[in-house]
Amino acid sequence: MSPQPTVLVLGGVGFVGRNFVAYLVENNLAAEIRVIDKVLPQTAYLNKRFQAAFEKVEFMQGNLSNTASVEKCFTRADGSSFDYVVNFAAETKFSQPEEIYEDRIYRLSINCAKEAVKRNAKVFVQISTGDIYESTGTASKEDSKTKPWNQMAQYKLKVDNELQNMEGLNLIILRPAVIYGTGATGGLTPRLICGRVYQHLKKKMEFLWTKDLRINTVHVDDVSRAVWHSANWYVSNDKQGTPVIFNLADDNDTDQEAINTHIRAIFGIETGFQGTIVSQMVKLDMSGATEEINEMHLAPWSDILKAYNIKTSPLTPYLDQELLYNNAVSLDGTKICTATGFTYEHPKLTTESLREIITDFQDLGIWPRD
């Protein structure tokens, strides 16, 4: 039996990173795990499961946009290099200045990939996004036309393209659909928060566009498993020097109505959609509409938190303008299955899986416990 690999997890305190770290620790998969992040675990609202996992790994605070910091982060105590490098690190906030994305997505990823080449890492797993594909009526495959519909995705695609041409890089690119699961503050979570707001207001919740707008999903546990599975497959099949791309999406083919079905079940509210005509009219002044929508949600959410004596919470119903356009996230996530034998353990989005997100936040004291 071959020795277990040593693993460097970049951006490991974030939502997906912390789940991946817990997966490695709980399944005793790595000989050594080092986690790098600019955010300290103590300030990151880690639940008890994640806290326990982080007690068993080495944590280093680091700025991965800085080459000197990257070099230090990549060096093991004995001076040797890590076998597997997984890059979850990236700016995740929408509508930031371009310089932020240039620094915290592009420069960061290129710095880390170059260091992985220099140290001859066996595999470098880059977490990209399904938002890079052109929004069409069909599910995008890995070779489908790209047309990023937000700035973050533009910079992710820029990274993807450059890494594929980087000589000596043993590269896997994973492009997930909307990731959900324990610890998610973005993705589907703002919709859940809106559901709680409309429950409080005793009003019907209506989203823009139509019920069949695709918002394909993938559970964070499956993302964690896919990272590890694909890295082992890459190394054991001697794919060295060959860039490989896999989409990650369950076979739920989630759309807006599927999500609303679960929201109705959780909060006991009516839901609906504005429809294409009204939504097109709203689109004429999307900036003003976004402001109005957020004002409608933010004040009641604040009132709810106050009523339950929750003084601070990282959770917000705020919806960024880029998320309100008629852009489908529709991915074909089957290639990783046929090529590597991977299977999704969460093939369907369920009401229970969304309740788990809420329960976890309640246990952390950042969501009202009814």
187: left (phi over 0), alpha (psi -120 to 50) or beta: left
Does residue 269 register a pLDDT over 90? yes
Same domain, 93 and 202: no
- 209 and 164, same structural domain? no
User: Are both 173 and 315 inside the same structural domain?
Assistant: no
Pair 172, 48 in one domain: yes
Confidence of residue 328 (pLDDT cuts 50, 70, 90): confident
Lowest mean pLDDT segment, chosen from 58-62, 130-134, 203-207, 304-308: 203-207
Q: Which of 44, 35, 127 is nearest to 88 (CA)?
A: 127
Number of domains into which the chain is organized? 2
Same domain membership, residue 157 and residue 194:
no
CA distances from 47 to 7, 18, 181, 250, 359 (A): 22, 10, 13, 26, 11
Q: What is the mean pLDDT of residues 239-254?
A: 96
Is the pLDDT at 1 greater than 50, yes or no? no
The 8-class DSSP code of residue 165 comes to T
State how far the alpha carbon of 307 is from the alpha carbons of 176, 195, 360, in Å. 37, 17, 20
Which residue matches tokens 């973005």? 186
Backbone angles phi, psi at 172, to 5 degrees: -120, 130
Q: What span, in angstroms and rounded, lies between the C-alpha atoms of 295 and 317?
A: 10
Q: Which residues contact 302 (CB under 8 A, 6 or more apart)?
A: none
Q: What integer pLDDT is reported at residue 136 of this predicted model?
A: 80
- pLDDT range class, residue 282, cuts 50, 70, 90: low
Q: Is residue 278 part of a domain?
A: yes
Asked if the structure places residue 247 within a domain, the reply is yes
Residue 78 lies in a domain: yes
50 lies in the same domain as 81: yes
Element (H, E) at 244: strand 244-248
Domain that holds residue 263: 189-213+255-323
Confidence at residue 2, expressed as pLDDT on a 0 to 100 scale: 63
- 292 and 152 part of one domain: no
276 has a pLDDT exceeding 80: no
- Work out the average pLDDT over 38-64: 97
Task: Identify residue 12 by its one-letter amino acid code.
Answer: G
Quick one: pLDDT at residue 44? 96
Q: Which residue has the higher pLDDT, 321 or 123?
A: 123
Q: For the ranges 115-124, 132-141, 243-252, 262-271, which has the lowest average pLDDT?
A: 132-141
Amino acid letter for position 200? H
The answer to whether position 87 is within a domain reads: yes
- Please tell me which residue, 20 or 329, carries the higher pLDDT value: 20
Residue 95 pLDDT? 82
The last residue of a domain, from among 307, 323, 339: 323
Question: Looking at the structure, do residues 263 and 142 belong to the same domain, yes or no?
Answer: no
Q: Containing H/E element for 59? A: strand 58-61
- Determine, yes or no, domain membership for 370: no
Residue with tokens 């993807």: 160
Q: What residues have CB less than 8 Å from 229, skipping those under 6 apart?
A: 336, 340, 342
Q: Are residues 55 and 119 in the same domain?
A: yes
State the average pLDDT over residues 310-324: 87
- Average pLDDT for 80-87: 96
- pLDDT of 207: 82
- Coil, strand or helix: which one is 130? helix
Determine the pLDDT at residue 93.
Answer: 86
Residue type, 27: N
- 148 and 205 within one domain: no
Task: Report if residue 1 sits inside a domain.
Answer: no
**pLDDT above 60 for 216:** yes
Average pLDDT in the 265-285 region?
Answer: 80
Q: Letter for the amino acid at 358?
A: I
| Terminal-to-terminal C-alpha distance of the chain | 51
Give domain status of residue 286, yes or no.
yes
The overall longest dimension of the chain from CA atoms, in Å, is: 64
Backbone angles phi and psi of 109, in degrees to 5: -65, -40
pLDDT for 325 beyond 70: no
More confident of the two residues 77 and 342? 342
Do both 169 and 294 map to the same domain? no
pLDDT at 327 over 80: no
pLDDT surpasses 70 at 284: no
Domain C-terminal end among 301, 323, 345: 323
pLDDT at 198 over 90: yes
Higher-confidence residue: 282 or 335?
335
Residue 365 counted as domain residue:
no
Tell me: do 161 and 200 sit in the same domain.
no
Q: Tell whether the model's pLDDT for residue 120 goes beyond 80.
A: yes
Mean pLDDT of all residues in the chain? 93
| CATH number, domain with residue 122 | 3.40.50.720
